[in-house]
Copies of this chain bind each other. A is one copy, B any other.
């Protein structure tokens, strides 16, 4: 693996742990084992590196979501594969983690995050509507509202977990499951 990759790996790790602002080029150099020279040879600036690192994380997370959703099983089973998974909830969602970083004002850094949320929302919404049309399920609330609740509850769960230093995301997923049992009836 090249130094360039080492730098990207270290950046993604540190961004997950501390976010953009709290991660300095020197931190990245220490964790990756690369020096100043390598750092600025491969990346014009910290911002440029961040841009690439964030895009990679988003691509990874979208791929993982697609893997969960495109496997076998009913829609509910596939959704549960995405929802019920071991999460390091105190570190936060790798994507949502960075939303409140002030550097996110830069559209280059913000756009990948927006793309992530749009993707999950669009994709899950389409799955729900397709299942509805196939007569596989019945909904007591609009599909778009269900999708938005899933996304926002998950993200909020991470926020509450970090604030209280307790793994509340698992409870949020349970609560979400309980709600879905009521508003989403499998035919």
Contacts and interface: CB of A to CB of B under 8 A. Distances in A.
A175 B160 contact: no
Given A149-B149, A152-B175, 11 more contacts: A18-B102, A98-B100, A99-B163, A114-B164, A117-B163, A118-B164, A142-B178, A148-B157, A148-B171, A152-B153, A152-B160
Interface string A58-88: 0000000000000000000000000000000
A21 interface: yes
A55 to B, nearest CB: 14
A16 B19 CA distance: 18
Contact of A97 (B18, B100, B162, B182): B100
Given A152-B156, A164-B118, A145 B102 contact: no
Contacts of A51: none
B162 A155 contact: no
Given A21-B21, A117-B164, A179 B178 contact: no
Contact count band on A: 35 or more
Given A21-B22, A102-B18, A141-B178, A160 B151 contact: yes
21 contacts: A100-B101, A100-B162, A110-B163, A117-B163, A140-B182, A141-B178, A141-B181, A144-B175, A145-B174, A145-B175, A148-B157, A148-B171, A148-B172, A149-B153, A149-B176, A152-B154, A152-B172, A153-B156, A155-B160, A156-B156, A156-B157
